[in-house]
Amino acid sequence: MRTEDGGRRTEQASVFGPPSSVKQAMQLFSLLHTGHFIAGQERPSANEAIFEVLNPSSEAQLGTAARGDAADAETAVQAARRAFPGWASLPPAARERILLQTADAVEANAGRFIDLLIDESGSTISKARHEVTYGANLLRAAAGEARRLYGDTFPNDKPHRLSLVVREPMGVVVAISPFNAPLVLLVKMIAFALAAGNCVIAKPSEETPLVAVELARVLHQAGLPPGVFNVVTGYGAECGTALVAHPGINAIAFTGSTATGVRIAQAAAPHMHRLQLELGGKNPLLVLADIDPVAAAETAVVGAFFHGGQICMSSARILAERSIARPFAEALAQKAAALPLGDLRDPATAYGPLINRAALLKVERHVADAVAQGAELLSGGQPQHGLTYRPTVLWQPPRQTAVWCEETFGPVTAVVPVADLDEAIALANESDYGLSAGILTNDLQRGLTAARRIRSGAVHVGMHSFQSDALAPIGGYGLSGYGRSGGKYSVEQFTELKWISVELGDGGPETEGRG
Ligand code: NAD
């Protein structure tokens, strides 16, 4: 297989013992195999178990990964704990330098990351390239934060006392990531935690373990000391639960579904592990009457169908003012139907397959249910090939339908006409989620009014709902989670504040003789 940088794919040596026949050996040779990455080394599971990793484009086996359990979680926690004092006590400038080196290394290894992102997660080449560029950008942004672990002082009520507030790393952070942007979402959680002096154990999605272990290898080769960043691969119910309920960790950063977030919060509660939860969304996009419906459709088609809607912030509920709602919806359906689907290595391809068959079945169920309950199908409504589903635009699904209330996480959006801005805001807020929203208008005053009244972690005026920035506080209201990641907000999330006060006795502040 040709790689992005033009070379042959380099296979990883199997760490799981010899194959039993020549045919099996040939088969294994063309597959990718990975172990956990703990204390700077790749290693198999303690019980040597593995699991299959599939390529969603072909649904064929891409490789295998170590299937971790509580024993591997234990090894990783011990490694991270051992590494913590050394990493935390490095001068900030040294952590900054190492993180800058890791950013360069991610870019230098772009070809391998891009191949893995395409083959393992069904990314298009454009999305894969973006993940690499943005991943490096996040590491550089985090490197800068290493020098900004600011503390504080405040005037103590007792004049002979001095009060200091210092910021300290927490210890070991467990970062659990989803499948849909396996490089960027993992980097976003780990980079700032590392910058603040923590050690990290990542548990990537069982759909996308290979890219996470590749990241660990690259960061380690770039100078991250052993044990500072570890990866345990496997299933959530096996190694994931063992990690989040481990008394030896200090904080958890989780990006994934709300259902899993609830389970993690329950498992973490007895230990009071600090939690940052970035969960699901059902994001509204308001289309106001002053905007050209065709131009609005141009923006909305990206917000709804980027990566086949497998984006937490995708524009899944579109509320359009009545005078332009139908022309907008028809333009959107036309643009959606024209999206090129196919070869993921062709830069023109809009999106690829859903991650697995269960995801495809969910999309089919949501669309069928909406149509059965009276929604009009304006485009799509069926699979294209394999796990790829055609971009689907629904008109006016009833408000109780799953497609309107629940996360579909696929290439489906729905347009509902509204009488005015008040109704648009009311319907936007009629959701248990509150992750992100977009407002398409040229009227800044109406846009800002809506932005203040919509209950969600982000509102983007003049844009669709899927936006990111390394320094922005990313997170949600309601069932979309709590805590924020990005820039200084991540640093706040992954540090402890300590109040130190000093009794100065007679050495208190000298005020006499001033003025
Ligand atoms: P998921 O919740 O099924 O899995 C996410 C991760 O949690 C995986 O690594 C999984 O193995 C692990 N996990 C599962 N059960 C666990 C348990 N009991 N203990 C510990 N770990 C466990 O999510 P997914 O299907 O991989 O990703 C899609 C979801 O992620 C969507 O809901 C999407 O909205 C959400 N998401 C949110 C954001 C955000 O920034 N808010 C970003 C991307 C994706």
**In terms of DSSP H, where are the helices of 146-257?**
184-195, 209-221, 241-244
Q: What is the pLDDT of residue 23?
A: 55
H/E run at residue 162: strand 161-169
**pLDDT of 17 strictly over 60:** no
The pick from 190, 207, 260, 490 for probing ligand 1's pocket by mutation, whose C-beta has the most ligand atoms within 8 angstroms, reads: 260
The alpha carbon of 178 and the centre of ligand 1 are apart by a number of angstroms equal to: 4
Whose C-alpha lies nearest to ligand 1, atom 42? 312
Name the pLDDT band for 8 (thresholds 50, 70, 90): very low
Q: Which of 312, 321, 330, 407 is catalytic?
A: 312
Average pLDDT over residues 259-287: 98
Name the pLDDT band for 2 (thresholds 50, 70, 90): very low
Name the pLDDT band for 308 (thresholds 50, 70, 90): very high
**pLDDT of 116 strictly over 90:** yes
**pLDDT of 174 strictly over 90:** yes
First vs last C-alpha separation in the chain: 79
pTM for the model stands at 0.93
Q: What is the pLDDT of residue 94?
A: 97
Label residue 17 exposed, middle or buried (CB < 10 Å: 0-12, 13-18, 19+): exposed
Give per-residue pLDDT as tens, 221-242: 999 999 999 999 999 999 999 9
Average pLDDT over residues 108-132: 98
Average pLDDT over residues 293-304: 98
Q: What is the pLDDT of residue 24?
A: 57
Q: What is the pLDDT of residue 79?
A: 98
- pLDDT: which is higher, 513 or 168: 168
**pLDDT of 64 strictly over 60:** yes
Radius of gyration, alpha carbons of the chain: 25
Name the pLDDT band for 368 (thresholds 50, 70, 90): very high
Ligand 1 atom closest to 204 (CA) = 9
The alpha carbon of 449 and the centre of ligand 1 are apart by a number of angstroms equal to: 33
Q: What is the pLDDT of residue 159?
A: 87
The alpha carbon of 185 and the centre of ligand 1 are apart by a number of angstroms equal to: 11
**pLDDT of 7 strictly over 80:** no
As given in the structure block, the two tokens for residue 418 are 């509204």
Ligand 1 atom closest to 480 (CA) = 41
Is there a catalytic annotation at residue 312? yes
Q: What is the pLDDT of residue 511?
A: 60
Percent with pLDDT over 90 in the chain? 91
The alpha carbon of 442 and the centre of ligand 1 are apart by a number of angstroms equal to: 36
Cα–Cα distance between 343 and 362 in angstroms, integer?
24
Q: What is the pLDDT of residue 510?
A: 63
Beta bridge partners of 445: none
The pick from 36, 69, 176 for probing ligand 1's pocket by mutation, whose C-beta has the most ligand atoms within 8 angstroms, reads: 176
Give per-residue pLDDT as tens, 83-104: 999 999 999 999 999 999 999 9
Percent with pLDDT over 70 in the chain? 93
**pLDDT of 514 strictly over 80:** no
Q: What is the DSSP letter of 311?
A: S
The alpha carbon of 204 and the centre of ligand 1 are apart by a number of angstroms equal to: 9
**pLDDT of 436 strictly over 70:** yes
Is there a catalytic annotation at residue 239? no
Q: What is the pLDDT of residue 18?
A: 42
Give the residues surrounding ligand 1 with Cβ less than 6 Å away.
176-180, 185, 203-206, 235-237, 240-241, 244, 255-257, 260, 263-264, 278-281, 312, 407, 409, 435, 474
Q: What is the pLDDT of residue 108?
A: 98
Name the pLDDT band for 14 (thresholds 50, 70, 90): very low
As given in the structure block, the two tokens for residue 16 are 């799981």
- Which domains can be identified in the chain, with CATH numbers? 30-279 (3.40.605.10), 283-461 (3.40.309.10)
Name the pLDDT band for 30 (thresholds 50, 70, 90): confident
Whose C-alpha lies nearest to ligand 1, atom 24? 178
